[in-house]
Structure 1
Amino acid sequence: MTLCASLTQVLALDDPSQVGHARRMALKLAQEVGFDEGDAGRVALVATELASNVLKHAQHGALHLRHLPRANGKSGIELLSVDSAQGFDPLRCMADGFSTGGTQGIGLGSVSRSAQVFDVHTDAKGSVVLARLYPGDDGSADLRIGVSQHSLHDDPACGDTWHIAVRGPLLSALVIDGLGHGEEAEKAAKAGARAFADAPFEAPQALLERLHVDMNGTRGGAVAIAQCDATSQALHFVGIGNIGATLIKGERTRGLASMAGIVGGQYRKAQVFDYQQVDGHLLILYSDGLQSRWNLNHYPGLIHRHPAVIAAVLHRDFCRGRDDVTVLVIDLELSHA
């Protein structure tokens, strides 16, 4: 199974008229990825309720849309509502008959029933609500992997990219930040992603060298590669440049070390670091479009939420706003095996 980069589509929510727009854009995406009429209708309903909930409780925020590629070729849809207002009472909003204003009063309870994957994080800093929908009733293939990828100023070209490959108990993850942003940065990142896709389970140092060769002649970029084996509960990490990488379990956080340099340009050496007993950890990889001063311990309960919720919260609160940004969160419980 391979998962490839897909930009997060962000729909602003600060006026009631935008609820209809959010519904239409979600419906369009569902139709584009092959949902039938009934399943597309579920997506439209969820988009309407999530957008309405933001306007009711926060007055402004955003709806994030992304398609979810799967091994069977049938994509899912991810919808995330994001706001920075005082958190709401999720139990109250889950109750049927609680109207968010202009809706049928179906509440987030209907969202949870319509989606195969549903999760909420809400506190004094704001709220993130996740809904993932798949064709039919098949949510069994959902991976506990979350990503928030955004280009600077919504440029169609993004200098960040990511790629994940899963084979049995093995998982290999890549994040690249091409130097700068825009088309030339995107070319560098895509050259590295293609090289990674050709041999994602090659030994990390050899794989990094493969990327270095293929990114030569481009601007180059920062690269991080993490490979995990669920059988041995070991993780191998190699990084060049300023991709941040963190392992988290409970209140314990470990930063993963990268070396200086530019892949596709010049770096003096690469070192693979090995980490043992990583089962049950979160692995978070992020480009330098995200500030590094975040701490999940400042968000009670967030570590137990779906990785997509964690990625959205970090992007919301720590995006620098002057570069492309990617946040990739992987739950190493590795039910992916």
Structure 2
Amino acid sequence: MEVITGGFHADFPMGDPSRVGEARRHAAQLSADCGLDDVEAGRLAIIVTELGTNLLRHASGGRLLLSPRPGRREVEVIAIDRGPGIPDLERSLNDGFSTGGTPGTGLGAVRRLADDFDIHSSQPQGTIVLARVRSAASPRDASARVCTGAVSLAAPGEIVCGDAWAFALDGARAALLVADGLGHGPDAAEAATQAVAVFAEEPLGGPRRLLERTHARLRATRGAAVSLMLADAEAGTLRIAGAGNVLGRVVSGVEDRTLLTQHGTAGLAMRSPEETAAVWPAHALVVLCSDGIETRWKPEQLRPVLERDPAIAAALLARDHCRGRDDATVAVLRRKD
């Protein structure tokens, strides 16, 4: 079994050239934190430089998001923008094609240098590029039949995020947690961090049991809205329990189902936990969003990215539906092809 946790995404708006260097320096620190060697850290630096410079020169509202995955010994980079989109995506991905004369010579080089790479672009909405660099010694579990992605952003002006997420992968089974500490800032982050700690102790123990334990652990904190899910890719089933306004949805080409949880706040006031079951249709994404994300997004937005890396779907929702005044998290599950 593999438990995946990660920090929130540091957000670098590409407003001027100095932000590229700032993002590259932050990437160097994340490389050290995640145990990347000099060659791996160098690959990450080129990716950050290339994506940041492309955003600066060719995109509107471009931002670079960087996040560590210490347990996996990898660093994730997501470039997002608000247009104009890439008219010829295949050509832009040819290695050696450069739109700005940058050191890596284009998106093709980013794809070549990254251990994981994915991209989605639409006109005029914009482009999302995902790249991950990981250590050759990464303990990543390749036998898992579920893939995951998450984007977590701190509230404006905060240096920590009051939301947290975690995944656990065990063959066809996957567990998922999203916790939203009340308010934002360090105290909210402490509540969310404690929820992750409970999850990591026994992530496949069942959502109701985990919610009960989380409620008890969070009594010493300001409390959190929490949703916990256990998914089975082979059986096509979901079990979910939660307290508070972390929204769950199941979205496919023909499906859009909301996963309801009870009112309350883990650690403060909560009824006896109730666990509900739902079907996980083939080719459907399972999405959990904290209340920093608008609830009324349309399922049609995700349908073009149903087969992409789940982090692309998470970034798309964060780009288009972040309320901009609170911590915001989107976590996504998808069956592997």
Could you state the TM-score of these two structures normalised by the residue count of structure 2?
0.90
Amino acid in the other structure paired with 1:211: T
Partner of residue 40, structure 1:
41
CA contact (8 A) 1:296 1:302 kept: no
2:76 corresponds to 1:78 = yes
Partner of residue 121, structure 1:
120
How far residue 8 of structure 1 moved from its aligned partner, in angstroms, is 0.4
Partner of residue 53, structure 2:
52
2:97 corresponds to 1:98 = yes
Q: Aligned to 1:211, which of 204, 209, 214?
A: 214
Partner of residue 134, structure 1:
134
Partner of residue 61, structure 1:
62
Counterpart-to-counterpart distance in 2, 1:138 and 1:33: 10
SS at match of 1:294: coil
How far residue 300 of structure 1 moved from its aligned partner, in angstroms, is 5.8
Amino acid in the other structure paired with 2:74: G
Amino acid in the other structure paired with 1:50: L
Cα deviation, 1:88-129, whole Å, max 9, x if unaligned, reads: 232232234433324147211111111121111111111111
Structure 2 CA distance for partners of 1:174 and 1:299, relative to 1, 3 Å: closer
Amino acid in the other structure paired with 1:106: T
Pairing 1:230-309 to 2, within 5 Å after superposition: 230-298=233-301, 301-309=304-312
CA contact (8 A) 1:96 1:105 kept: no
Structure 2 CA distance for partners of 1:264 and 1:7, relative to 1, 3 Å: same
Amino acid in the other structure paired with 2:214: L
Structure 2 CA distance for partners of 1:309 and 1:36, relative to 1, 3 Å: same
SS at match of 1:113: helix
Partner of residue 108, structure 2:
109
- Percent identity over the alignment? 37
How far residue 191 of structure 1 moved from its aligned partner, in angstroms, is 2.5
Counterpart-to-counterpart distance in 2, 1:243 and 1:60: 27
Amino acid in the other structure paired with 2:292: G
Structure 2 CA distance for partners of 1:217 and 1:96, relative to 1, 3 Å: closer
How far residue 81 of structure 1 moved from its aligned partner, in angstroms, is 0.8
Structure 2 segments unaligned to the other structure (5+ residues): none
SS at match of 2:306: helix
Deviates more, 1:19-28 or 1:251-260: 19-28
- Deviating beyond 6 angstroms after TM superposition, the runs of 4 or more aligned structure 1 residues are 137-140
Partner of residue 202, structure 2:
199
Counterpart-to-counterpart distance in 2, 1:41 and 1:183: 32
SS at match of 1:11: strand
SS at match of 1:98: coil
Structure 2 CA distance for partners of 1:60 and 1:268, relative to 1, 3 Å: closer
Could you state the TM-score of these two structures normalised by the residue count of structure 1?
0.90
CA contact (8 A) 1:116 1:137 kept: no
How far residue 217 of structure 1 moved from its aligned partner, in angstroms, is 3.5
CA contact (8 A) 1:14 1:59 kept: no
